Amino acid sequence: MTGRSRIAIRTADPSQAVKLHAIIAANLVEGHLLPRTLAELTTRASGFVIAVRGRKIVGCAELAPLSPQVAEVRSLAVDESARHAGVGTMLVEELRQRARREGFDTLCAFTHVPGYFIQKGFSIVPHLWIPEKIFTDCVKCPHFQRCGQYATVLPLDSSVAEQVDRGPAVVARHA
């Protein structure tokens, strides 16, 4: 049995907020995530998908609506014990499917590791192409205009996604 087959993906609930907080906090050390408060995670738990192996949460990610058209992959975190088992890919794919079902046109992610998202069909774009994120979160962030993250987008309309897959990724980094 592979590591991938032993992992179940499901929706988180508020009772799991402490575990979500722990896995996100453990990934903060690497500098790829922004901190999340326990209160925020408790309130937003139902927007998270979790990867569970046995009784342990080994990964999480949030589908965060930014507007009626755009949703963001936020707080993608995988426990060190489950890395390289496809957990992140499973979480991103689940969020992509949910975003499409919920009627979003675009899924975005802000990341220090754009290659990971490019492998999943996302393209790097200028931050200003996602004003929903800039005006919702970025302007309030202490790292605004110096975060070093890349903006990536994945069109959820299949015909647009095919065009993006055939073209080169646009490289633009937030200054």
Tell me 141's DSSP state.
S
Distance CA 69, CA 156 (A): 10
Contact indicator for 125, 156 with CB cutoff of 8 Å: no
d(CA 73, CA 86): 16
- Looking only at Cα atoms, what is the longest distance across the chain? 46
pLDDT at residue number 46: 94
Residues 6+ apart with CB under 8 A from 142: none
Exposure string over 87-107, b if 16+ CB within 10 A, otherwise e: bbebbbebbbebbbeeebbbb
User: Which fold would CATH assign to domain 7-166?
Assistant: Aminopeptidase (3.40.630)
Can you give the pTM of this predicted structure? 0.82
pLDDT tens per residue, the chain (175 residues)? Answer: 444 458 999 999 999 999 999 999 988 877 777 788 999 999 999 999 999 998 899 999 999 999 999 999 999 999 988 888 899 999 999 999 999 999 999 999 998 889 999 999 999 998 878 888 877 777 677 666 677 788 899 999 854 444 444 333 333 333 3
Q: Which residues have a Cβ under 8 Å from the Cβ of 70 and sit 6 or more positions away?
A: 104, 105, 106, 107, 108, 130, 132, 133
Domain boundaries, the chain: 7-166
* Contact (CB, 8 A) for 110 and 129: no
